[in-house]
Structure 1
Amino acid sequence: MIKRHKTAKQLFSYPLYWAECYGVSPFLPTTREEMDALGWDSCDVIIVSGDAYVDHPSFGMAVLGRLLEAQGYRVGIIDQPDWRNTEDFMRLGRPNLYFGITAGNMDSLINRYTADLKVRNDDAYTPYGVGGKRPDRAVIVYSQRCKEAFHDVPVMIGGIEASLRRIAQYDYWSDEVRRSVLIDSTADILLYGNAERAMLEVTHQMAMGKTLDELTDIRGTTIVRNTPPGGYTEIDSTRVDWPGKVEQIYSPYEYIPEGKCQTKEEDPDVMPIRVIPAPLRRGEKLDPEKTYIRLPSFEKVSKDPVLYAHTSRILHLESNPHNARALIQKHGKKEIWVNPPPIPLETPEMDGVFDLPYARVPHPKYKKARIPAYDMIKTSINIMRGCFGGCTFCSITEHEGRVIQSRSHESILKEIEDIKDKVPGFTGHISDLGGPTSNMYTLNCNDDEVQASCRKLSCVYPTICSNLNTDHSPTTQLYRKTRAVEGIHTVSIASGLRYDLAVEDPEYVRELVTHHVGGLLKIAPEHSEQGTLSKMMKPGMGTYDRFKRMFDKYSKEAGKKQHLIPYFIAAHPGSSDEDMLNLAVWLKTNDFKPDQVQTFYPSPMSLATAMYHSGKNPLKPVTYKSEDVYTPKDAKQRTVQKGFLRYHDPNNWQDLRNSLIKMGRPDLIGHGDNKLVPAEDKDKQVHRRPQKAKPGQATGASHTSNRPTMEKNTAAEKARRKNNSGKPASSRNTGETANPAKRRKTKIKAR
């Protein structure tokens, strides 16, 4: 019988390594002198990171380093090494087991370049915020330097940069599909996602004398093979998105009893898949533990954008740790083998990880140097991991998973006491209780069987799944307990809020608004138009309206004057100029003048990045004839779309006037409440020839029946909002400001 809900060996059940006799170090050593002071002759594991070393549970190197230390291993840190030679990589000597490589808490390219490919002049993870202290593609560079320094020492790569490049992936910075980072880095093994389970298993196995060549089936790892393993059944991924009806043929994707995992309302943009596993025999049952999916090769996806989108879809459908198969992808003569995702941590394990003896401050060698990222999180508390929202422009789900992993109240309250004792100058303000999404704490599927079988890309789109627990009372109780801690006068909620979930629990909204909002609450509708929202997998503006009514009501009851600050994205796949115009009209109608706005950033492995590169929609089965998705890629198009978000900025007015004229909307140019941008001064006016609109841009002819206005609460506006919410109001589910640089023609290489 197939086991539905998988479990794993408990993190703290391994026998301790012999070196545990050295005890706990005040800080993990970063120099030979620090090692000598601890009485160490060598390190068992050396972690190399692109971040400054902050001994805090928000920094990955500290979490994994302290976890290994708790298991008895001697762990050293090489932080922000000079990558131009091998000297820094040799400063702690040869590790007994392996080097662990991470670019840091952020992808090194996202850290260095803006969405418009401008070089940033700062780095929040570096002392004094100085930029340029880590190389581009840091995982590749660090790994290669470790191999140069000690060619026979195994190298393990992980962290967000490696995790999201485990298979062939579109690279925005070079505008091409690149190979798996495991190939380019010459590393021996890649750990993806939150790596506690995989790292402990690999480390203990190596300590017992096994080599990495023998460790081929550990969850959460990616390795290089010469050939597929024996004893497995292969399913070609091109059979997965078969559009025909399947009858009496076993499908490895169909575990759920019919009707068990249904949302309250279906959406054609998110369609279930059917599988015909050829050449398997009809009715044949497969062991999911001995089945793998063959993805199109690197050579194919690098040349065929449609196959790239198809591959992205399969990868995301194979992300549930309870039913995912191994994946294999050919790179030349080598095979990239991706084992299934790690089993999520249970609450006692989460508590154990966050209860480790962190100093909660930067390493003393930095003295009084300010590290901006530390300043942001030094009094914040991470209460959970994971996100089931499925927003297509975000890769958190692909890294941390959809299953929410929560800490206990006791562990969180203990961390508050730690902050009071260890953080210099603590004033009694907890700056955040959060995680990827602050109000997903303890929320999970109500049915273990459904959770173990489900392959939905989101638990809340198009509407909230009927199997999802939306009870926020554990979060509300946690807020009350933290406020009651002696010495705490304010607890803020700064992490992202999923307002379509929040409206399901009015008592939570009341608690949040009354006690945890400091005047402004940031939320992220991201857009106003249903066509674009469907490509984002975000709820319609009707849900936003409902949350705003709750927010305003409870703010008034609390005697507070508070406001929502909505965030929006420009130039997202599926967003036309007409969509951005409608959004700009919404902003002006609601008297919003955004200061900081965001242009879509195609980060590795996200579904929206697959749309950007391929022009196809991987939320549906992908074929050569399937839906085309328009994406503004040209620098000028992206500038105009961002300009619509900042319609009030005089620097954008001329571009917007030109666009409005091309779109047949000169009526929105002029002075008055019903105008979007002011008219040009007469002495500055020049005659310009009309320009032909590009694909996806609106023309004058397209505005005969959907002409936005500046009038509030018109019948047309109410109807549009109703459609955007998916249901009538009575039955809805209660639920860089600078112009972008011209896109680089040259590819950004490792420096």
Structure 2
Amino acid sequence: MDKITYTDPTLWLPTSVKEVNALGWDRLDVIIFSGDAYVDHPSFGAAVIGRVLQAHGLKVAIVPQPNWRDDLRDFRKLGRPRLFFGISPGAMDSMVNHYTAARRRRSDDAYTPDARHGMRPDYPTIVYSRALRSIYPDVPIIAGGIEASLRRVSHYDYWQDCLRPSIMVDADVDMILYGMGELSIVQLAERLASGERISQITDLPQSVILRPLSEMPSADSGNIILNSYEECLRDKRLQSANFKHVEQQSNRMHASVIWQPHGDRVVRINPMHPPMTTAQIDASFDLPYTRLPHPRYKGKTIPAWDMIKHSINMHRGCFGGCAFCTISAHQGKFIASRSKESILREARQVTRMADFKGYISDLGGPSANMYRMGGRNLSLCERCMRPSCLHPKVCPNLNNDHGPLLDIYHAVDELPGVKKSFIGSGVRYDLSMHVSGDERVDRNNRRYNEELIRDHVSGRLKIAPEHTCDGVLSVMRKPSFSQFYEFRKIFERVNRTCGLRQQLIPYFISSHPGCREIDMAELAAETRDLNMHLEQVQDFTPTPMTVATEIYYSGYHPYTGERVFCAVSPEEKLAQRQYFFWYDRAYRQGIVASLRRLHRPDLIQRLFPGYNSRFDVSPKTKVAPSSKGRYPGKSNNVASGQKHGSTRKQR
């Protein structure tokens, strides 16, 4: 079959008046404004929602990265839709996209043609909705995507260093559809098309609306009543307590309605849909995506698409429940898996792409090896409120059989044109190494580890132990580092047996809540003993709707109520981060000075055997500042005039 080289613009959803006219449409039903470039691929939210609505007979257009700085002509050009405007701010949170962990502005944007920065505003949901409301005050505006989804209740904003209300208060939208929105968006479109007004639609699953405070039920109604935004501003512990309820309800099969008062109004959060069935998720992935950027970007590169264009996502959801991760808050912990047939259809489509050279870059998902996994007894899952099926120990009800996953790998590798498939998503080795007690399952899992290492690694296998200290790992909801050693033995054995020279590349995080400077020093010594020069490292960045962020902001653990140490100042964070680079001579004297202050000469010798300061004459020494640390919830706060109750710490 010929390679796919789509050049006909009518194969995409229209993005301009010219393209709308070419389709013979006189009016649009839905217009979606996207913070990303328009890539017609199932990994890009605006394309998915647009294709889903199109499959239900609606006329849909996408306006990618509209100019919000001029006279708003991009917001006017396609006119007034029959049903509603949609806002899809981007596949990545705008603030994570724009700023580093040190709050420095990034110089590029992977979701923009040629990685050009400045093509979307901070908080596109707010900016786009206000622009649309000023032009079309009576047209419903619906927001979705990561940004709105994770800001559906009051939340700490790291970039403004303050507690903000639900984005429903700041954005001029009528409704948020949180999480993966295919089912909700179709139901909403059908109800609006039938004549219901947006203000009448209050019970739509997976929706967030703003209502008069008088509609909030009593505390004994069976609903979840959160502490109000104003109460959370006064007491950080109440914000922390709220999060426990939000996380638990986000990870239940049958959740309750959540309410949070904001002044004289209340945010109502309706429960998530049950996990998508295989037929439902297949229907979404089997839509007629071209898998390519829109022709308007001819001659330009979109880095985010380049990275995933030959990859295949096999499932949604993640039951890992990592404290710093937002996947379960957005997709839930229950796994929705595609059928083998749907995955193979997409794989065949990838092989027909013009630049395909025979290599599938990733057969994965949010976590690579959770395909078709879940509880053996679903009635137990229906009652479960655990945010993680793996922490503090693997749930005895969990079916961790990797056999179906191996079947997919084998089937894809047998396709004509496929030379090899790689696993680029993160692998949970604690899941693949867990002994279930079922010999068939345990045999499949041993085969999985061996075949993964032998057949599906592109020279370097990336895994995420995140830290080496058990105390920090417990706060992270990650397994003991001892499991890394066990997996490393398997990795080295398979490499040795098969004559391979592959590398194991671990990810680590500094300054995570619960992590002290001495923990980072121990991490440096441990990884040095393993002869690792760390590459995949990051400083913890608080993002809305994670356990770690709530701890960072409040100083309290939402589940235990106990204080947790956090490195919060730039100096404290730099003091931790330097240990990643113990092998860089420029950091040596700073690390040595820090370890002397911590009274750990033993670690100096582990990191720098035979160290003698008289011979250390690096001209670029980076000396770490003194850092005593603190519990952020205990610090005094001062007003800085910022909106929504600034809590900028005194330094």
Tell me if 1:179 matches 2:114. Answer: no
Partner of 1:81: 66
Superposition pairs of residues 31-180 of structure 1, within 5 angstroms: 31-84=16-69, 85-180=71-166
The offset of 1:747, in angstroms, is 6.5
Question: Does the CA contact (< 8 Å) of 1:174 and 1:748 recur in 2?
Answer: no
The offset of 1:530, in angstroms, is 1.0
The offset of 1:528, in angstroms, is 0.7
Relative distance call for 1:691 and 1:355 in structure 2 (3 A) is closer
Question: Does the CA contact (< 8 Å) of 1:670 and 1:679 recur in 2?
Answer: no
Partner of 2:458: 518
Partner of 2:521: 581
Partner of 2:569: 634
Q: Which residue of 322, 345, 369 corresponds with 1:439?
A: 369
CA distance in 2 between partners of 1:72 and 1:678 (Å) = 75
Relative distance call for 1:596 and 1:437 in structure 2 (3 A) is closer
The offset of 1:671, in angstroms, is 9.7
CA distance in 2 between partners of 1:334 and 1:553 (Å) = 61
Relative distance call for 1:366 and 1:233 in structure 2 (3 A) is same
Partner of 2:398: 468
Question: Does the CA contact (< 8 Å) of 2:575 and 2:625 recur in 1?
Answer: no
Partner of 2:483: 543
CA distance in 2 between partners of 1:600 and 1:145 (Å) = 33
Is the partner of 2:320 in helix, strand or coil? Answer: coil
Tell me if 1:315 matches 2:246. Answer: yes
Q: Which residue of 359, 371, 388 corresponds with 1:458?
A: 388
Partner of 1:556: 496
Spell out, residue by residue over 1:39-70, the C-alpha distance to the aligned partner (whole angstroms, 9 max, x if none): 01111000101000000111001111001000
Question: Does the CA contact (< 8 Å) of 1:576 and 1:696 recur in 2?
Answer: no
The residue type paired with residue 312 of structure 2 is: I
CA distance in 2 between partners of 1:339 and 1:205 (Å) = 16
The offset of 1:227, in angstroms, is 3.2
Relative distance call for 1:332 and 1:748 in structure 2 (3 A) is closer
The offset of 1:646, in angstroms, is 1.3
Tell me if 1:350 matches 2:276. Answer: no
Q: Which residue of 674, 679, 682 corresponds with 2:613?
A: 679
The offset of 1:29, in angstroms, is 0.5
Relative distance call for 1:603 and 1:545 in structure 2 (3 A) is same
Spell out, residue by residue over 1:513-534, the C-alpha distance to the aligned partner (whole angstroms, 9 max, x if none): 1110122100000001111111
Superposition pairs of residues 691-702 of structure 1, within 5 angstroms: 694-695=628-629
CA distance in 1 between partners of 2:197 and 2:458 (Å) = 54
The residue type paired with residue 638 of structure 1 is: K
Is the partner of 1:224 in helix, strand or coil? Answer: strand
Tell me if 1:569 matches 2:500. Answer: no
Is the partner of 1:433 in helix, strand or coil? Answer: strand
Spell out, residue by residue over 1:655-681, the C-alpha distance to the aligned partner (whole angstroms, 9 max, x if none): 212211110124544798636x77364
Relative distance call for 1:480 and 1:329 in structure 2 (3 A) is same
The residue type paired with residue 502 of structure 2 is: Q
The residue type paired with residue 578 of structure 2 is: G
CA distance in 2 between partners of 1:748 and 1:213 (Å) = 28
Is the partner of 2:86 in helix, strand or coil? Answer: strand
Aligned length: 614
CA distance in 1 between partners of 2:116 and 2:643 (Å) = 21
The residue type paired with residue 380 of structure 1 is: S
Is the partner of 1:337 in helix, strand or coil? Answer: strand
Partner of 2:429: 499
Is the partner of 2:191 in helix, strand or coil? Answer: helix
Q: Which residue of 193, 211, 229 corresponds with 1:207?
A: 193
Is the partner of 1:597 in helix, strand or coil? Answer: strand
Relative distance call for 1:555 and 1:615 in structure 2 (3 A) is same
CA distance in 1 between partners of 2:264 and 2:333 (Å) = 33
Spell out, residue by residue over 1:70-110, the C-alpha distance to the aligned partner (whole angstroms, 9 max, x if none): 00000000100001232111111111111100211011111
CA RMSD in angstroms, aligned pairs only: 2.2
Partner of 2:262: 331
CA distance in 1 between partners of 2:585 and 2:617 (Å) = 17
The offset of 1:25, in angstroms, is 4.7
Relative distance call for 1:602 and 1:225 in structure 2 (3 A) is same
Spell out, residue by residue over 1:487-519, the C-alpha distance to the aligned partner (whole angstroms, 9 max, x if none): 100101000110101113111101111110122
Relative distance call for 1:493 and 1:690 in structure 2 (3 A) is closer
Tell me if 1:29 matches 2:14. Answer: yes
CA distance in 1 between partners of 2:87 and 2:566 (Å) = 35
Relative distance call for 1:334 and 1:229 in structure 2 (3 A) is closer
Gaps of 5+ in 1: 1-23, 236-289, 698-744
Spell out, residue by residue over 1:550-591, the C-alpha distance to the aligned partner (whole angstroms, 9 max, x if none): 222222222212221111000000001111111111011111
Superposition pairs of residues 196-235 of structure 1, within 5 angstroms: 196-227=182-213, 229=215, 234-235=219-220
Partner of 1:488: 418
The residue type paired with residue 662 of structure 1 is: R
Relative distance call for 1:302 and 1:748 in structure 2 (3 A) is closer
Spell out, residue by residue over 1:234-280, the C-alpha distance to the aligned partner (whole angstroms, 9 max, x if none): 34xxxxxxxxxxxxxxxxxxxxxxxxxxxxxxxxxxxxxxxxxxxxx
Spell out, residue by residue over 1:399-424, the C-alpha distance to the aligned partner (whole angstroms, 9 max, x if none): 00000010011101100111122x22
Is the partner of 1:123 in helix, strand or coil? Answer: coil
TM-score, scaled relative to structure 2: 0.91
Partner of 2:329: 398
Partner of 2:535: 595
Tell me if 1:409 matches 2:340. Answer: yes
Question: Does the CA contact (< 8 Å) of 2:566 and 2:629 recur in 1?
Answer: no
Q: Matched residues, percent identical? A: 42
Question: Does the CA contact (< 8 Å) of 2:512 and 2:540 recur in 1?
Answer: yes
Question: Does the CA contact (< 8 Å) of 2:291 and 2:309 recur in 1?
Answer: yes
Relative distance call for 1:25 and 1:348 in structure 2 (3 A) is farther
Is the partner of 2:129 in helix, strand or coil? Answer: helix
Is the partner of 1:47 in helix, strand or coil? Answer: strand
Spell out, residue by residue over 1:311-365, the C-alpha distance to the aligned partner (whole angstroms, 9 max, x if none): 1111112123423111111111100001111222101111111010001100001
Of 103-112 and 552-561, the range deviating more from structure 2:
552-561
Partner of 2:307: 376
Spell out, residue by residue over 1:590-642, the C-alpha distance to the aligned partner (whole angstroms, 9 max, x if none): 1111134200010011110000001111132x3xxxx2111001111111111
Question: Does the CA contact (< 8 Å) of 1:390 and 1:458 recur in 2?
Answer: yes
Spell out, residue by residue over 1:141-178, the C-alpha distance to the aligned partner (whole angstroms, 9 max, x if none): 01111111211111001100000000110000111100
Q: Which residue of 377, 381, 387 corresponds with 2:318?
A: 387
The residue type paired with residue 32 of structure 1 is: V
Tell me if 1:427 matches 2:363. Answer: no
Relative distance call for 1:541 and 1:425 in structure 2 (3 A) is same
Is the partner of 2:343 in helix, strand or coil? Answer: helix
Spell out, residue by residue over 1:3-53, the C-alpha distance to the aligned partner (whole angstroms, 9 max, x if none): xxxxxxxxxxxxxxxxxxxxx951100001100000011110001010000
Is the partner of 1:302 in helix, strand or coil? Answer: helix
Partner of 1:272: none
Relative distance call for 1:680 and 1:530 in structure 2 (3 A) is farther
